[in-house]
Structures are given as structure tokens and as C-alpha cells.
Amino acid sequence: MKGLLIPVDAQDHIQGPDSAAITLVEYGDYQCPYCGEAYPVLKAVQQAMGERMRFVFRNFPISEIHPHALPAARFAEAAAEAGLFWEAHDLLYQRQNALGTANLEDYARQLGVDPALVQAAANGAFDARIERDFMGGVRSGVNGTPCLFINGVRYDGARDVDSLVDALSDLA
């Protein structure tokens, strides 16, 4: 079983303190229904773990089966450039069934992301960033989403709040 081959660094999207005993990394796809199901679970896990855990999100758009995954990831990266990654991340998962171009433009207006930045993203301005995440996932053995790593070790256990908190608490 492979572990996380690309260490967490300043280029990652991180919530929580760098000093946290636990790092939970998710490789996710904004259009994936399983990622959508995991979203509120991971939010609850973050809440339960507090300062003991940092959460990292990495893009893993599976474009072959989710045609809106890459445009959504591009939008999230445009928002990141504006300092609004987590707001965009949350909005994309909360409105997972509305990820078309017009929806993303509307979300940009709601969040205050410059339309020129969104257009640049749509034209591939942040594709290298997304590709870095994706290829790091491939090298780490990610073959579907969501894929979780706890302190660099792939987690394939139950994905409910209690099971995840138990698995994480054993390390804290």
C-alpha cells in the first residue's frame, strides 16, 4: 500500500495549525457524489478534532466521468488566488449539482472573485497547480475519490464521523 508521496507544503490548501499532531489529506473531485457525501463528515471531523488536526485538500478531478470537475477545480484555484479558497471549496460542495459555467460565474460574483481571474482559470492559468495535485495523487496510489491520508498513510476505513474521529484520536 502506498503512502502519501508528496509532503504537505506551503502550496497546499490547509486549514488548521502547522503544529497539529495530525494531518488529514483529502484528494477530492468537486463533482464526485462520494466526495459530496464526505464533505459534511469531514467538516464535522474538523470540528471535533479542533487544533489537534490540520486538513489539506488536493484536487483530483476525474474529468472522464465528471465533466464539471476540472472547471470547478479551476474556479477553486482562481478563488485561492483571491484568498478565498475555502469559501469556494465549501460553496462548490454545498451546490455540487450546479457546477456549470454560469453557476461558477455566479459564485465568483457572490464571493467577490475578479471575473478576469475566473476567465484566466477557465483558460488554464492554474492547470499546473491542479496537475501537481493530481499527479501527486496518482503517484501516491489514489485511484478514486475521496481518498484520505492520515499522517501520510492511506486511510481506507469507515467514513463516518465517529470512525474517523476514533482513527484520528488514536494518533493525537
pLDDT at 132: 97
- Residue 28 has a CB neighbour count (10 Å cut-off) of 30
Instruction: Say which residue the cell 482513527 belongs to.
Output: 167
Q: What is the mean pLDDT of residues 63-90?
A: 97
pLDDT at 1: 53
pLDDT digits (tens, 9 = 90+) for 111-135: 999 999 999 999 999 999 999 999 9
DSSP state string for 34-103: HHHHHHHHHHHHHHHHGGGEEEEEEE---TTT-TTHHHHHHHHHHHHHTT-HHHHHHHHHHTTT--SHHH
Which one-letter DSSP state was computed for residue 126? T
pLDDT at 168: 94
CATH architecture of 13-169: 3-Layer(aba) Sandwich (3.40)
The contacts of residue 169 (CB under 8 Å, 6+ apart) are 49
Q: What is the mean pLDDT of residues 156-160?
A: 94
Which one-letter DSSP state was computed for residue 25? E
> Given pLDDT bands bounded at 50, 70 and 90, which one contains residue 171?
confident
What are the sequence ranges of the domains in the chain? Answer: 13-169
Q: What is the mean pLDDT of residues 156-170?
A: 93
pLDDT digits (tens, 9 = 90+) for 15-50: 999 999 999 999 999 999 999 999 999 999 999 999
Taking the CA of residue 120 as centre, how many other CA atoms within 13 Å lie in the half-sphere pointing to its CB?
13
Quote the mean pLDDT of the chain: 95
> Given pLDDT bands bounded at 50, 70 and 90, which one contains residue 170?
confident
pLDDT over 80 (residue 140) = yes
Q: What is the mean pLDDT of residues 93-107?
A: 96
